[in-house]
């Protein structure tokens, strides 16, 4: 239990300085270091899902291509001109 508390403190301090991909890889490395039950422990204290940690392990092994972007291209809100083409005429 003491180890979970210390791991939670580490995650809170470290994760605020990392983006999503970096968080995933760092947490997966910690889970691998802990060995059996590491994924469950890190998932519990970090708030990351088990599937996210499994993705991080794939990235550590080099079997998953790590993109340069944090999110997929095209993500986010669409431009207003694309959603409502008539707005350009009105302006």
Both tokens assigned to 66: 């790590």
User: What is the rounded CA–CA span in Å between residue 52 and residue 28?
Assistant: 8
User: Does residue 33 lie within any of the structural domains?
Assistant: yes
User: Does residue 47 lie within any of the structural domains?
Assistant: yes
The number of folded domains in the chain is 1
Q: What is the pLDDT of residues 21-69, one digit of tens each?
A: 888 888 898 889 888 988 888 888 888 899 988 988 988 888 766 566 6
Which residues constitute the domain of residue 19? 2-61
Q: What is the predicted pLDDT for the residue at 22?
A: 84
Q: What is the predicted pLDDT for the residue at 24?
A: 87
Q: Between helices 20-34 and 50-61, what is the axis angle to 10°?
A: 90
Given a cut of 70, is residue 19 above it in pLDDT?
yes
User: Does residue 66 lie within any of the structural domains?
Assistant: no
User: Does residue 9 lie within any of the structural domains?
Assistant: yes
Q: Which residues contact 23 (CB under 8 A, 6 or more apart)?
A: 15, 46, 48
Q: What is the predicted pLDDT for the residue at 9?
A: 78
Q: What is the predicted pLDDT for the residue at 67?
A: 61
User: What is the rounded CA–CA span in Å between residue 82 and residue 79?
Assistant: 5
pTM of the entire predicted model: 0.65
Given a cut of 60, is residue 1 above it in pLDDT?
no
User: Does residue 84 lie within any of the structural domains?
Assistant: no
User: Does residue 80 lie within any of the structural domains?
Assistant: no
Confidence of residue 75 (pLDDT cuts 50, 70, 90): confident
User: Does residue 75 lie within any of the structural domains?
Assistant: no
User: Does residue 44 lie within any of the structural domains?
Assistant: yes
């Amino acid at each position: 239990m003491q180890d979970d508390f210390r791991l939670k403190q580490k995650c809170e301090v470290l994760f605020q300085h990392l983006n999503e991909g970096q968080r995933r890889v760092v947490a997966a490395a910690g889970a691998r270091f802990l060995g059996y039950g590491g994924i469950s422990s890190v998932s519990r204290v970090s708030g990351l899902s088990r599937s996210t940690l499994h993705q991080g392990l794939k990235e550590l092994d080099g079997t998953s291509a790590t993109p340069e972007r944090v999110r997929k291209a095209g993500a986010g809100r669409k431009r207003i001109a694309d959603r409502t083409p008539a707005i350009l005429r009105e302006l």
